[in-house]
A and B are shown apart, each in its own frame.
Chain A
Amino acid sequence: MIRFENVGMRYGMGPEVLRDINLHLKPGSFHFLTGPTGAGKSSLLKLLALSHRPSRGLLSLFGQEVSTLGRKELPSFRRKIGVVFQEFRLLDHLSTLDNVALPLRIAGADEDQVRKHVAELLDWVGLGTQIDAKPPTLSGGEKQRVAIARAVINRPQLLIADEPTGSMDPDMGLRLMHLFQELNKIGTTVVIATHDIGLIRKFSNPVMYLKDSTLHLSQSDEYLDQYHRSSL
């Protein structure tokens, strides 16, 4: 599904922000990605989202090496990936419905189906009454839910979320985590970047943590032990 082999990444001619990343995520897995600020979480997510290419090493997604992908193949690969950005990145001039519908419309879906699916999903994330609202009129939590709905509307094979519950109250955060779990149960591979140790504790999924630009993988218990030891 996802395979990193000695992957390194740098911006321009700058220093490597990720070094020797080796990673294998199986289809249908659910991982947390954590680490201190500046450790390279966003950069790793950019690689997973096909927003950047690695500077070195091999990165395979869905069984294909990314560097061999032609420009015309990239969009179809990206449609298999749902991304929830930390800063939402919604289009302010579009309504909630239009923001969520965007991936479907870009993929050329039938308009009746688009409206039906989007309305159902917005109901599910608790925004059924905000269909015509524009993002500037929504709260941070509501924007985050719109961003999540947009990321999952296409039933992606890989879902990447950067601090998805950061702007929400705990109840809504839990509800959305359950949505991620449901998507995961039907086969979606999920990677959630978070600083929320409570979330990692509650859901007990394997943890990838970045330290000094390198990636380490552990089970949640193991990570939590290590976290508490280092906190003490």
Chain B
Amino acid sequence: MSFRFGLFGKSAELQLEKDASSRYLPVVISAMIFLAALALAGLFSIHTAVQDWSRAVSGNLTVEIAYEDGKSLDKKVAVATDFLKSFPGIDNVRPLESTEAARMLEPYLGRSDIIASLPLPRLIEVTIAENSSVDLLAAAEKLADAVPGAQLNTHRPWLDKMILLARSIQVLAGAIMVLVSIVTVIIVIFAARTGMVMHQEIIEVLHLIGAQDHYIARQFQDYYARLSFLGSLPGLILAIIVMQVLGFMAGQLEASLITAPTMILEGWVALAMLPPLVALLTTTTVRWIVLGSLKRMM
């Protein structure tokens, strides 16, 4: 019989594998990892999404020319376009045709031929040149002077609200991670303490024949780390499946204004780190509990 024991070995003397108290630990750990993985995925996906939205919106402006009953807006659009093209720091100015604007509203308002008959403002898409600073306030004022009824929109207020929402979700996800970690530690403490009580007689014998505390603690920590590691795998796999399903459903929404959150490489690496991290957390917790309990023995 081999007396070596490690992460994947058996606890030689204590036979912790026979404990009924720890039998359900992998199931609980699996559930905890499922929640933690979803929270972690949420953290990374939303972080990426916020960056994407910010990047997409920050270089773009929209000029809106208010509808005037009975008057053609084409002249105002042409004046505004010329004005904007002459403004320093502007890379591209593209007036949108009424039909194009109607198509953009189609997902929200219905058929575009009917939308085209509505009193819609005309829009001009403006792209700011890279690495240039445009005084947007001054540009907005000058544009309003040159073209009455023209208004420069920066999308910033909308983006700010989206970022606030995203950050709130991130804080919530972080709180879930902390909560999951605390609950995991508490469950592991309970299991380890029960194991200590159940094996007290053998522990006493081991002590009396000269076993160091860390020799006994290692059997506990290796066994519980193994349970946590193996228990975390199904939870993680299930969470990845759920994330893929949610990602697929988000992609089907056809919400062209914002892109669906996607996981970046760092997110996948963080997910892959969950099983070893939970094993490490378990090892540390069990070692702390077992050594503490052993110290109270002679």
Contact = CB atoms under 8 A, between A and B. Distances in A.
Nearest to B212: A75
Contact of A71 (B13, B201, B213): B213
B85 interface: no
Contacts of B207: 51, 74-75, 78
Interface residues of A, number: 28
A53 B201 CA distance: 18
Interface string A50-79: 111100000000000000000110111011
A91 B208 contact: no
Contacts of A49: 208
Name, among B206, B207, B298, the residue most crowded by chain A CB atoms within 10 Å (CB to CB).
B298
Nearest to B15: A93
Contacts of A207: none
Interface stretch (A25-33, A101-109, A221-229): A101-109
A78 B15 contact: no
A195 to B, nearest CB: 23
Contact of B208 (A51, A76, A98): A51
Contact of A106 (B201, B202, B209): B209
A109 to B, nearest CB: 11
B212 A79 contact: no
A102 B298 contact: no
Contacts of B201: 89
Interface string A117-137: 000000000000000000000
B3 A105 contact: yes
Interface string B160-183: 000000000000000000000000
A105 B215 CA distance: 11
A95 interface: yes
A48 B72 CA distance: 108
Contact of A91 (B205, B215, B295, B298): B205
A53 B1 contact: no
A107 B210 CA distance: 7
A138 interface: no
A51 B298 contact: yes
Contacts of A197: none
B17 to A, nearest CB: 10
Interface in B275-298: 295, 298
B205 A89 contact: yes
A106 B214 CA distance: 11
Nearest to A105: B3
Interface of B: 1, 3, 13, 15, 18, 201-202, 204-213, 215, 295, 298
Kindly list the 7 A-B residue pairs having the minimum CB-CB distance in the complex, ordered from nearest: A79-B210, A103-B209, A78-B210, A75-B210, A106-B211, A75-B212, A89-B205
